[in-house]
Amino acid sequence: MLKRYPLCQITIVAFTIVLLGCDDSRSDRSSPPPQPNRPISSLGAAETIYPMPLAHGQDEDIALLGEQLFFDRNLSSNGSTSCASCHDLNRGGTDQLARSPGATGQLSSVNTPTVFNARFNFKQFWDGRADSLEEQALGPLTNPKEMNNTWSDILAYVSSNTEYATQFNAQFDAGVTKETVLTALAVYQRTLITPNSPFDQFLNGDEDAITDQAKQGFELFDDLGCSSCHQGVNVGGNMFQRIGVMGDYFADRGNVTEADFGLYNVTGIESDRYRFKVPSLRNVADTSPYFHDGSAPTLPEAVTIMARYQLGIELPQSDVDLLVSFLETLSAPPLEVRSTQASASNQAHQGEAR
């Protein structure tokens, strides 16, 4: 029998989360993406999470062009680093490192978030400084800690590549420009969705798609108030939240850096200090280590820390196990842009050096 937490405790926790983080006088939430039909699972709590669309709906030709760019190390200053270096499609759309090395060997300031399902996030980056995937793609290409390139060199390289020039001229009236490069990358990233996970199948009516333990884990997830911040089609990614609603996470962790200030670095508003975009929990079992600082090496540790600092409770191991069982059902492989030609081209680009 699933242990239920006292209603008064859950009510107080949920109210505190809303009061302190999820909903203040300045709305942090954009209009969510169009949601599919409401789920038909027998669990009433499943109304907080929606199934992932089964198709990406993007222009395939532009997506294939963006895919080539995504895997091309020559977009970095020294031919060493591609977008896929940090966003490895075989590692949950991340590199599974606490900090990512860039073209010059410098480490990133924060943990690399997954590229999977990023199209459903209302903002991009942990601190929400980009409003779109096009704006997001703009950052890493020229960031000294990442690909360390310049737009003049990027455009010179892409324009001089006959294959690229032909494709850009075919897809865009303007040919190779900064804007069309960013568009191609963004369109490709919008194809990287992970539909039909076991939990999606469960939401769509297949009661046998997940185990009884996972079902109990989801009930507990909802009972604890986790779905106050992790909901919708992306199971998160649609609001900002303060890390440490019910405890001082940063004082306990120590060694606070500017990267820990989160949204404050964008807005300069004191109440935004330590607030970050709530991450999606899609494919979360594949994206360790966790949090913006990469401080939690395993999913059970991440669950325990979130309960402590966001809910103010210490979970018994049995409840951690239930929650992890549920979270593991959110994983699925990304859709592919199907082209053997593009795949062969990606391998060639990966092996090139400027």
Q: Where are the alpha helices (DSSP H) in the chain?
A: 7-17, 60-70, 83-86, 133-142, 151-160, 162-171, 178-191, 198-203, 212-223, 249-253, 264-267, 299-306, 317-328, 340-351
The catalytic position among 146, 301, 314, 328 is 146
- How far apart are alpha carbons 78 and 81 in whole angstroms? 8
146: annotated active-site residue:
yes
Those residues with Cβ within 8 angstroms of residue 170's Cβ, 6 or more apart along the chain or in another chain: 61
**SS3 assignment, position 134:** helix
- How far apart are alpha carbons 20 and 274 in whole angstroms? 12
Those residues with Cβ within 8 angstroms of residue 65's Cβ, 6 or more apart along the chain or in another chain: 164, 167, 168, 171, 184, 188
Query: Which is nearest to 215 in space by CA: 9, 45, 36, 28?
Result: 45
Those residues with Cβ within 8 angstroms of residue 223's Cβ, 6 or more apart along the chain or in another chain: 4, 5, 10, 45
Those residues with Cβ within 8 angstroms of residue 24's Cβ, 6 or more apart along the chain or in another chain: 271
47: its two tokens: 């109304």
**SS3 assignment, position 88:** strand
**SS3 assignment, position 295:** coil
Query: Which is nearest to 10 in space by CA: 321, 217, 221, 213?
Result: 221
Catalytic residues: 146
